[in-house]
């Protein structure tokens, strides 16, 4: 059935491409014909799997760029089809009928709940884990259940775990992988580091013995330098790739005697860069290659993406959970110019039906005199409006079910406009902004 499944995937992929469409349907067909199709493939080169709650798309794409610049022919799911079906589509559509993948490396972004399918099915060289936060509780369940689903396939894993040393919930994976090698990455203290945190934090208790963790400092949420007074579980003393000389405003940092410029804004993006450098170190790719990749990285759609309309800036960002949203709030807070904030909250299946996470997000950060108005739209605009009132907002508050009209009105103000949108609202919001750009 292997050859038939491969032929079916390739043909269906070609037909969809001819029609100008993509998606994971070819992979669904291939898995229906041969559920073990991934394990039957031959990949001649490193296979890097990237997972985690936040940052996995940017990290996977940067690692793919790194390998390509280093001379590898890379197959990757760059558009983010990160479920088993999407990964099958990406790999098998680049496979000969005999089962050999036509590439010298594979970089695969993988949804956290799908690691349990991908890791046992492919010859994975390295599993890169960015972080773990609560996200889409109705789909991903509690974070503990999600992590346990990954731990359940780690015992026989013989590759390398590339882990965030500042996240206790990521670092714990090393305790469940006795045959794996471990590399760690992290970010040193800097101007954004705090001694306490009021953000939602999942790293309060030791994942080994259950005692409360002690933190020396925090970067954001539960990401920081920690140790357990009970069993000694802690941030490693010798982190393999530890960024230092951090300049958050300039988006620059140093590692291994070399200066780098982070491709994207925010401290969390530096963690993505550290993960990329760790993957490069594993594969003996020089730092100068990573520096080139960071300097030439394309701006991901909807990730602090800036548009100019008649001299004013419109900035679009994706929000999907408290930790990622709080980092976006910090970016907005730093801007002291007059501004309008548009929040698009949807609760469709891909967003997660449970929107209670908005009460763990610090929207209060932009509730200041520089914010001229707040606009709430999307399928749960009323819930977001109520959240603004609970947050103490007493300025102009507008609720609407019409996304396009909302963005038009916000842009018409002449102020800087920040648009933050959940997953299914991101593309419609971007399209509405582009209409304003073209008008």
- Can you tell me the distance from the alpha carbon of 162 to that of 165, in angstroms, rounded to the nearest whole number? 9
Calculate the dihedral angle through the C-alpha atoms of 322, 324, 327, 333, rounding to the nearest 10 degrees: -60
Confidence class for position 3, pLDDT limits 50, 70, 90: confident
Most confident of 47-51, 263-267, 295-299: 47-51
Confidence class for position 289, pLDDT limits 50, 70, 90: very high
Q: How far is CA 123 from CA 39, 70, 320, 436, in A?
A: 8, 21, 31, 47
* Greatest pairwise CA separation for the chain in angstroms: 66
Q: Mean of the pLDDT values across residues 343-351? A: 91
pLDDT at 228 over 70: yes
Q: Give 44-62 pLDDT, tens digit per residue.
A: 999 999 999 999 999 999 9
- Return the pLDDT at 181: 98
Confidence class for position 5, pLDDT limits 50, 70, 90: confident
Confidence class for position 16, pLDDT limits 50, 70, 90: low
Confidence class for position 200, pLDDT limits 50, 70, 90: low
Q: Mean of the pLDDT values across residues 229-247? A: 97
Confidence class for position 198, pLDDT limits 50, 70, 90: confident
Q: Pick the residue with more confidence: 25 or 407?
A: 407
Q: Give 84-128 pLDDT, tens digit per residue.
A: 999 999 999 999 989 999 999 999 999 999 999 999 999 999 999
- Return the pLDDT at 377: 97
Q: Pick the residue with more confidence: 138 or 326?
A: 326
300 close to 427: Cβ distance less than 8 angstroms: no
b/e 317-341 (16+ beta carbons within 10 angstroms → b)? bbbbbbbbbbbbbbbbbeeeeebbb
- Return the pLDDT at 1: 66
- Can you tell me the distance from the alpha carbon of 288 to that of 280, in angstroms, rounded to the nearest whole number? 10
Q: Mean of the pLDDT values across residues 353-369? A: 93
Confidence class for position 154, pLDDT limits 50, 70, 90: very high
Local structure of 311: helix, strand or coil: coil
Residue 408, φ and ψ in degrees, nearest 5: -55, -45
Would you tell me how many other CB atoms lie within 10 Å of the CB of residue 139? Answer: 15
H-assigned helices in 362-402: 381-390
pLDDT, the chain, mean: 92
- Return the pLDDT at 302: 75
pLDDT at 370 over 90: yes
pLDDT at 136 over 60: no
Would you tell me how many other CB atoms lie within 10 Å of the CB of residue 300? Answer: 15
Would you tell me how many other CB atoms lie within 10 Å of the CB of residue 214? Answer: 12
Confidence class for position 216, pLDDT limits 50, 70, 90: very high
pLDDT at 140 over 50: no
Calculate the dihedral angle through the C-alpha atoms of 60, 346, 23, 69, rounding to the nearest 10 degrees: -20
- Can you tell me the distance from the alpha carbon of 105 to that of 372, in angstroms, rounded to the nearest whole number? 50
Q: Give 349-358 pLDDT, tens digit per residue.
A: 888 888 999 9
- Can you tell me the distance from the alpha carbon of 435 to that of 439, in angstroms, rounded to the nearest whole number? 6
Q: How far is CA 186 from CA 98, 131, 155, 266, 272, in A?
A: 41, 11, 25, 15, 10
Most confident of 17-21, 149-153, 327-331: 149-153
Beta-bridge mates of residue 30: none
Confidence class for position 18, pLDDT limits 50, 70, 90: low
């Amino acid at each position: 059935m292997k050859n038939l499944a491969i032929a079916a995937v390739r043909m269906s992929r070609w037909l969809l491409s001819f029609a100008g469409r993509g998606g994971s349907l070819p992979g669904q067909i291939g898995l229906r014909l041969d559920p073990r199709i991934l394990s039957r493939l031959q990949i001649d080169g490193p296979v890097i799997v990237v997972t985690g709650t936040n940052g996995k798309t940017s990290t996977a794409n940067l690692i793919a760029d790194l390998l390509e610049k280093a001379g590898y022919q890379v197959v990757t799911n760059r558009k983010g089809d990160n479920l088993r079906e999407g990964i099958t589509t990406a790999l098998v559509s680049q496979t000969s009928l005999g089962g050999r993948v036509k590439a010298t490396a594979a970089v695969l972004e993988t949804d956290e709940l799908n690691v349990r399918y991908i890791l046992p099915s492919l010859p994975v060289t390295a599993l890169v884990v960015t972080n773990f936060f609560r996200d889409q509780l109705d789909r991903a369940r509690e974070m503990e259940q999600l992590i346990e689903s990954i731990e359940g396939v780690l015992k026989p894993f013989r590759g390398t775990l590339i882990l965030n040393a500042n996240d206790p919930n990521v670092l714990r994976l090393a305790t469940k992988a006795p045959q794996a090698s471990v590399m760690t990455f992290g970010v040193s203290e800097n101007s954004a580091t705090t001694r306490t945190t009021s953000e939602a934090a999942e790293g309060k208790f030791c994942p080994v013995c259950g005692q409360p963790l002690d933190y020396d400092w925090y970067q954001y949420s539960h990401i920081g330098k920690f140790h357990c007074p009970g069993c000694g579980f802690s941030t490693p003393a010798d982190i393999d790739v530890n960024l230092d000389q951090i300049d958050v405003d300039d988006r620059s940092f140093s590692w291994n005697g070399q200066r780098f410029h982070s491709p994207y804004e925010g401290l969390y993006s530096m963690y993505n860069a550290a993960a990329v450098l760790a993957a490069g170190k594993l594969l003996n790719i020089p730092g100068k290659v990573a520096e080139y990749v960071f300097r030439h990285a394309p701006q991901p759609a909807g990730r602090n993406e800036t548009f100019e309309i008649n001299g004013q800036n419109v900035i679009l960002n994706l929000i999907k959970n408290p930790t990622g949203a709080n980092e976006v709030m910090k970016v907005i807070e730093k801007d002291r110019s007059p501004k309008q904030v548009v929040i698009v909250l949807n609760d469709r299946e891909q967003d997660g039906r449970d929107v209670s996470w908005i009460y763990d997000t610090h929207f209060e950060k932009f509730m200041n005199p520089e914010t001229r108005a707040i606009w709430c739209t999307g399928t749960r605009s009323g819930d977001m409006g109520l959240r603004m009132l609970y947050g103490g907002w007493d300025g102009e508050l507008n609720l609407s079910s019409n996304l396009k009209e909302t963005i038009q009105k916000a842009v018409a103000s002449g102020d800087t406009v920040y648009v933050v949108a959940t997953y299914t609202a991101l593309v419609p919001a971007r399209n509405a902004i582009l209409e304003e750009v073209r008008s």
